[in-house]
């Protein structure tokens, strides 16, 4: 496809995203860097400032399959239509294959369930994982079946208009509701961990209120305003109330939990195709209820 620039001064990646359906600015930048876009017949940088009359040519490569084996798994589908689906992810299930987790992931399940109905954003045929939750966090997770849906859901997340609420049990009594506003970045030494004011910190805001206090613990409702890696776990540890069972940011007790007591119980968003606001809730899983019974 070829475009003629009518204005002067607009960045090339921004121009492509605005003029190409279902193309995000990040995806446009990748295409420019890979040589799939030229200006006046020549390769250029993503931050090239267009001049009036510039001819921009873009070739979007065929989406290529990735080496992910489809797997049937006992994962609950809460909602599904032709554009998206919502699953209730169990604990101990990793969202995306990585080193050490090539099978048994949510993506393996989605590859099996969705068949040919998959997102092709970033040039790969794969289910559109729009957001993630940690391996040992349970609850609702949204996936897109096509580029149209993926792009628009990603825009909602960027604008903080997707409602994501969790329930957690944390160490120590919590006296009152609060807001934690502390930037999160990668730990300078322990590179798999995140920390407040770490490397390249990004804005992170977490809201919480108290459902019930126990002798040495509190049951909280937590709402994400931003969505940084490990955000709730890092923020709660930062204010001295680490999530119970968290063996990275807390003390890992009680051991039988085998991970943090954290459940993504509410998810709300505007459907990209219909414009309808949709909201879903998930009941607390057995491990969470067992801990509450012990605390009582």
Alpha-carbon dihedral 191, 188, 258, 202, rounded to 10 degrees? -100
One DSSP character per residue, 256-279 reads: GG-S--EEEEEEEEE-TTT--EEE
- Name the H helices within the chain: 12-19, 25-33, 106-114, 147-158, 231-238, 286-295
Of the CA atoms within 13 Å of residue 16, those in its CB half-sphere come to: 29
Q: Is the dihedral of CA 285, 119, 148, 37 positive or negative?
A: positive
Give Cα 53 to chain centroid, integer Å: 39
> Are the beta carbons of 241 and 171 closer than 8 angstroms?
yes
Best CA proximity match to 265, nearest among 195, 189, 165, 191 = 165
Q: What CA–CA distance (Å, rounded) separates 24 from 10?
A: 16
CA-based end-to-end distance of the chain: 64
Q: Please identify every residue annotated as catalytic.
A: 134
């Amino acid at each position: 496809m070829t475009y003629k620039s009518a204005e002067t001064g607009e960045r090339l990646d921004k121009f492509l995203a605005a003029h190409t359906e279902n193309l995000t600015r990040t995806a446009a930048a990748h295409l420019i860097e890979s040589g799939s876009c030229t200006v006046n017949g020549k390769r250029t940088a993503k931050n090239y400032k267009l001049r009036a009359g510039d001819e921009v040519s873009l070739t979007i490569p065929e989406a290529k399959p990735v080496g992910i084996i489809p797997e049937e798994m006992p994962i609950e589908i809460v909602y599904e239509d032709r554009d998206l689906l919502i699953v209730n992810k169990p604990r101990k299930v990793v969202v995306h294959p990585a080193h050490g987790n090539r099978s048994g992931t949510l993506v393996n399940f989605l590859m099996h369930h969705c068949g040919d109905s998959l997102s092709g954003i970033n040039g790969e045929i794969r289910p559109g994982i729009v957001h993630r939750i940690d391996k040992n966090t349970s609850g609702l997770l949204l996936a897109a079946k096509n580029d149209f849906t993926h792009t628009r859901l990603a825009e909602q997340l960027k604008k903080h208009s997707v409602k994501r609420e969790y329930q957690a049990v944390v160490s120590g009594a919590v006296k009152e509701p609060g807001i934690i506003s502390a930037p999160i970045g990668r730990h300078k030494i322990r590179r798999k961990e995140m920390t407040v004011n770490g490397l390249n910190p990004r804005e992170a805001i977490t809201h919480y209120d108290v459902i019930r206090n126990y002798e040495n613990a509190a049951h909280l409702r937590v709402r994400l305003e931003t969505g940084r890696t490990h955000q709730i776990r890092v923020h709660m540890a930062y204010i001295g109330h680490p999530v119970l069972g968290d063996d990275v940011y807390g003390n890992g007790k009680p051991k039988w939990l085998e991970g943090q007591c954290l459940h993504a119980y509410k998810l709300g968003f505007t459907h990209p195709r219909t414009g309808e606001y949709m909201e879903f809730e998930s009941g607390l899983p057995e491990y969470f209820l067992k801990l509450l019974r012990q605390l009582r």
